[in-house]
């Protein structure tokens, strides 16, 4: 009798402990500082900071919904399809802790137990780099997308192997994404000399046939470390060519991006980065890549491997009207090897995905890609309103279909190389970026909504609100608020669903807002 009571009491006590509301200092701050504040920090790429208790409280509702929908942190690949090294996702437990904290009145807890406040990272993550190459200051002043290449001499006196690479954007507001090439020819220097400004304009790759891709940077990217013993060969006579994409509508903003390289002269197994799945014949099965206005169209590509290879990383690439992309391999004995599935493509959150273990692809494996493009007005990222035919090209208004592979020639045992053996987080739901939800908030709203988009820059923008019959009911222009966001007031509108459009230069945002 006595024993039973004690047991019942202790169970009750345990239950209470579990049900205890999490507090910011001990439970929530660590989640936010580990998963959010690399972007959500003053001067970071996100439109507001989540550093400090007051900030977390101010955005509590949004934090709860963005984490439970898995729209934040951004991680577009479907984790039911494949799991990756260094995933930036929250576990189910972390998501419930946030929800319980918000629902439980957001207690602060004992602030002496809170982790140290994160600070904006200005330097690199790679320690003791071999080279820290800074491009010349460049004043960005453009009304349309600008792709500019900067030639950065390495000064190497011996051939090297690249073992880690990192890009530090000079100005997060204007550096959209960057490709880093290694070039052993003289063409880039000639093109640079012919262009009066720093660097040279180049819409395609670098404009040089001797350029090889060695790295990719997009907002929120971490540095890339090759597995131990592997690297990309850099000849001493080569230069780094940094191609940066600046969005249109930027007026006199200075950028000076840096490329950090870690290299060794010790021989490494050679890695290459190639778009083995691409939009060119004969790879593209049902080309050409052309999407008529008001159509949803899918394409397939295919490449049969002539050799055994080992793959570390894949990186899918499309532009604005891309809506989904998937890549896998079918081995000669018909096993399917899953690479990546992005059910809702979002141009802003393209990134590369590194496998947790090196993946062996036997000779004869058929690499397959599937991509769908939504060129209708239901696609909030469609840059054209009304939609216009889109074909293959380098501009953000054109389309592409590429899947890059970071690979090396296979050697026995490669499939046992572990890249990340951290414990996998428990993730029950597919993580899919819901574009509209992330960019219009709060949504639904009573009085006003913020519209944010990482493509926005400072300066004027035009906005309009359309009702469900397609009639424009309000429009105007305004100046962008700090953090690349616009404040749209809807307090005078009757409750209902509306379409919000914001236009800046040739960047257009469309999304749906619910007014309560």
Q: Regarding beta strands 309-317 and 402-409, do their DSSP bridges make them parallel or antiparallel, or are they unpaired? A: antiparallel
SS3 state of residue 99: helix
CB of 398 to ligand HEC, least distance (A): 22
CB of 465 to ligand HEC, least distance (A): 19
Tell me the backbone φ, ψ of residue 146, rounded to 5 degrees: -125, 125
CB of 148 to ligand HEC, least distance (A): 23
Residue 65 vs 388, nearer CB to ligand HEC: 65
Calpha distance 161→367 (Å, rounded) = 28
Residue 262 vs 455, nearer CB to ligand HEC: 455
- Rule CB under 6 A: say whether 169 interacts with ligand HEC: no
CB of 323 to ligand HEC, least distance (A): 16
Residue 330 vs 437, nearer CB to ligand HEC: 437
- Rule CB under 6 A: say whether 172 interacts with ligand HEC: no
Calpha distance 400→232 (Å, rounded) = 25
Calpha distance 472→385 (Å, rounded) = 14
Q: Are 339 and 82 in contact (CB under 8 A)?
A: yes
Calpha distance 123→398 (Å, rounded) = 34
Binding mask 185-224 for ligand HEC (x = CB under 6 A): ----------------------------------xx----
SS3 state of residue 320: coil
Residue 151 vs 178, nearer CB to ligand HEC: 178
Taking CB under 6 A as the criterion, which residues in 338-357 touch ligand HEC?
Answer: 348
Binding mask 59-98 for ligand HEC (x = CB under 6 A): x--xx-xxx---xxxx---------------x--------
Q: Give the residue closest to ligand HEC by C-beta.
A: 220
Tell me the backbone φ, ψ of residue 40, rounded to 5 degrees: -85, 75
- Dihedral, 468, 474, 475, 476 alpha carbons, nearest 10: -150
Residue 45 vs 390, nearer CB to ligand HEC: 45
SS3 state of residue 349: helix
Binding mask 258-277 for ligand HEC (x = CB under 6 A): --------------------
Calpha distance 80→96 (Å, rounded) = 20
- Rule CB under 6 A: say whether 439 interacts with ligand HEC: yes
Number of residues that bind ligand HEC (CB under 6 A): 29
Residue 59 vs 353, nearer CB to ligand HEC: 59
CB of 172 to ligand HEC, least distance (A): 10
Stretch that binds ligand HEC, among 162-170, 262-270, 365-373, 438-446 (CB under 6 A): 438-446
Instruction: List the helix and strand counts (H, then E) for the chain.
Output: 7, 30
Taking CB under 6 A as the criterion, which residues in 400-429 touch ligand HEC?
Answer: none
Question: How distant, in Å, are the alpha carbons of 188, 191, 192, 394, 405 from that of 202?
Answer: 10, 9, 10, 10, 23
Q: Which residue among 437, 474, 493, 514 contacts ligand HEC (CB under 6 A)?
A: 437
Residue 39 vs 242, nearer CB to ligand HEC: 39
**Spatial CB neighbours of 302, under 8 Å, sequence gap ≥ 6:** 277, 283, 285, 366, 367, 368, 369
Residue 246 vs 299, nearer CB to ligand HEC: 246
CB of 66 to ligand HEC, least distance (A): 4
Q: Which residue among 438, 464, 504, 510 contacts ligand HEC (CB under 6 A)?
A: 438
Taking CB under 6 A as the criterion, which residues in 8-67 touch ligand HEC?
Answer: 35-36, 38-40, 45-47, 59, 62-63, 65-67
DSSP collapsed to 3 states, 145-206: CEEEEEEEECCCCCCEEEEEEEEECCCCCCCCEEEEEEECCCHHHHHHHHCCCCCEECCCCC
DSSP element (H, E) containing 67: helix 60-68
CB of 453 to ligand HEC, least distance (A): 5
Taking CB under 6 A as the criterion, which residues in 441-500 touch ligand HEC?
Answer: 441, 452-454
Residue 165 vs 218, nearer CB to ligand HEC: 218
Calpha distance 337→317 (Å, rounded) = 20
Angle of helix 92-103 relative to helix 60-68, nearest 10 degrees? 150
Q: Regarding beta strands 160-168 and 258-264, do their DSSP bridges make them parallel or antiparallel, or are they unpaired? A: antiparallel
Interface ranges with ligand HEC (CB under 6 A): 35-36, 38-40, 45-47, 59, 62-63, 65-67, 71-74, 90, 219-220, 348, 437-439, 441, 452-454
């Amino acid at each position: 009798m006595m024993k039973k009571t004690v047991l019942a009491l202790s169970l009750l006590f345990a239950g209470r402990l579990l049900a205890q509301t999490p507090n910011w200092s001990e439970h929530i701050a660590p989640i936010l500082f580990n998963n959010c504040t690399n972007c959500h920090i003053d001067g970071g790429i996100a439109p507001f900071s989540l550093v400090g208790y007051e900030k977390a409280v101010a955005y509590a509702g949004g934090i709860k919904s963005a984490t439970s929908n898995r729209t934040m942190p951004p991680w577009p690949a479907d984790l039911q399809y494949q799991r990756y090294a260094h995933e930036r996702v929250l576990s189910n437990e972390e998501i419930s802790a946030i929800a319980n904290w918000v629902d439980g009145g957001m207690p602060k807890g004992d602030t002496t137990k809170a982790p140290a406040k994160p600070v904006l990272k200005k330097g690199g993550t790679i320690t003791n780099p071999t080279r820290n190459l800074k491009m010349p200051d460049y004043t960005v002043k453009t009304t349309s997308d600008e792709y500019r290449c900067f030639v950065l001499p390495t000064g190497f006196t011996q051939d090297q192997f690249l073992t880690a690479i990192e890009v530090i954007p000079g100005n997060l507001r204007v550096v959209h994404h960057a490709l880093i090439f290694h070039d052993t020819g003289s063409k880039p220097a000639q093109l640079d000399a012919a262009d009066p400004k720093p660097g040279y304009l180049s819409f395609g790759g670098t404009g040089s046939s001797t350029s090889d891709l060695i790295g990719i940077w997009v907002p929120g990217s971490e540095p890339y470390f090759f597995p131990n013993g592997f690297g990309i060969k850099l000849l001493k006579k080569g230069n780094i060519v940094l191609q940066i994409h600046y969005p249109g509508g930027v007026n006199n903003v200075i950028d000076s991006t840096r490329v950090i390289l870690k290299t060794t002269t010790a021989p490494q197994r050679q890695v290459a980065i190639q778009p083995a799945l691409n939009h060119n014949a004969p790879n593209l099965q049902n080309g050409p890549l052309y999407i008529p206005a008001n159509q949803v169209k899918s394409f397939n590509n295919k490449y049969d491997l002539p050799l055994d290879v080992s793959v570390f990383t894949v990186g899918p690439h499309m532009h604005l009207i891309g809506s989904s992309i998937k890549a896998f391999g079918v081995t000669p004995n018909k096993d399917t090897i899953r690479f990546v599935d992005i059910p809702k493509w979002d141009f802003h959150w393209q990134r590369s995905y590194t496998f947790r273990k090196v993946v062996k692809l036997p000779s004869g494996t058929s690499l397959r890609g599937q991509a769908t493009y939504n060129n209708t007005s239901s696609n909030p990222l469609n840059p054209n309103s009304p939609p216009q035919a889109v074909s293959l090209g380098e501009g953000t208004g054109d389309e592409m279909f590429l899947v890059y592979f970071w690979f090396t020639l296979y050697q026995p045992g490669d499939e046992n190389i572990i890249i990340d053996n951290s414990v996998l987080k428990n993730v029950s739901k597919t993580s899919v970026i819901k574009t509209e939800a992330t960019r219009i908030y709060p949504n639904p709203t009573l009085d006003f909504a913020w519209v944010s988009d990482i493509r926005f820059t400072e300066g004027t923008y035009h906005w309009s609100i359309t009702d469900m019959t397609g009639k424009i009911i309000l429009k105007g222009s305004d100046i962008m608020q700090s953090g690349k966001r616009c404040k749209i007031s809807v307090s005078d509108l009757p409750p209902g669903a509306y379409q919000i459009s914001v236009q800046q230069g040739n960047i257009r945002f469309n999304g749906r807002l619910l007014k309560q």
